[in-house]
Amino acid sequence: MGKQKIQVLSNISLLLVAIIWGSGFVASQMALDANLSSAFIMFVRFAIATIIIGVVFYKDLKANMKKEHLKDGIVIGLFLFLAFYVQTVGLQYTTPSNNAFITASNVVMVPFLWWIISKKRPSLKIFISSFLCLLGIGILSFNFSTGISFKLGDLLTLLCALLFACQIITTGVLAQKMDAKVVVFLQFAVATVLGFITFMLTDRNFGAFGSASGMAAVAYLGIFSTCLCYFLQTTAQQHVESAKAAIILATESLFGTVFSVILGYDKLTVNMVLGGLIILISILMTELKLPKKGEKELPEAELLFEEKEK
């Protein structure tokens, strides 16, 4: 299969991830409505995902997993767990719209983090697309009756956005050196252990396993929002630069709003339509061929492969 076709399929995979993550907002709300704690939800969803990857890809994991992979898996898994946990805690001290908007600010953080780490400046269109995407998410999330105020929960959510940006960057870099199945399994296993420790320290309500509706929601989160999505993300980021991946994944908030409207949780508003259009424009911009002066700038994935070959 040609390189261009692989990149197109990778972009589609990331878009599918964003769609499923958007539907995950509904599943998370169902789990919370069933009185399941955040720690329990995180522990079980990652445990389900770890078991599935471990069983389905046992032979591949046994053949490809090496001792030197453990450190990389722990780093990605730590960022993954901390991002979700800090986001959940932050949500208790701020509004959902603020939480969604500030979390999505990772789309702007990723290009700058990549610039710092790799010493290679992302293209101009990535910067423009990132800020457009953030603007669209802001309009999408803004509540004209309450506005946006900065609280303790907002500071925690800002930290969450930084952690998600770090997870995207580390996945984009470390996934180049490891089999995608190994990356996914290790980060899930790390997140499961950390989730279990948090559950034992804060909740310890094993009776939650008896909630049929709650467990159904958590099962969806574990199988689709976690197992399938992070496998697709890890695989796709071997062919898509981190900054562009962040823009596509940020459409999670757009699809979350769409599902919320369809299922009757929210009403369709002008700012939803306007914000959604701006987000879509930001994604389309990443595919535009802007004129460049001098030497042609290689995508991040190609740069990484070049460095490996030297």
Instruction: Report residues of the chain scoring pLDDT below 50.
Output: 295-310
The set of residues, in sequence order, having a beta carbon less than 8 Å from that of 188 and lying 6+ positions away, is: 46, 49, 50, 53, 77, 226, 227, 230
pLDDT at residue 125 in the model: 79
At residue 300, the pLDDT reads: 41
Q: Report yes or no: 69 and 180 within 8 Å, Cβ to Cβ.
A: no
Question: In the prediction, which pLDDT does 143 show?
Answer: 62
Q: How long, in residues, is the chain?
A: 310
pLDDT (0 to 100) of residue 55: 94
Q: Which residues of 100-136 are buried (b: 16+ CB within 10 A; e: fewer)?
A: bbbbbbbbbbbbebbeeebeeebbebbbebbebbbbb
Q: What residue segments make up the domains of the chain, in order of their start?
A: 3-309
pLDDT at residue 4 in the model: 80
Distance (Å, whole) CA 24 – CA 44? 15
Q: What is the predicted pLDDT for the residue at 278?
A: 84
Task: Give the separation between CA 7 and CA 94, rounded to whole angstroms.
Answer: 38
Quick one: pLDDT at residue 2? Answer: 75
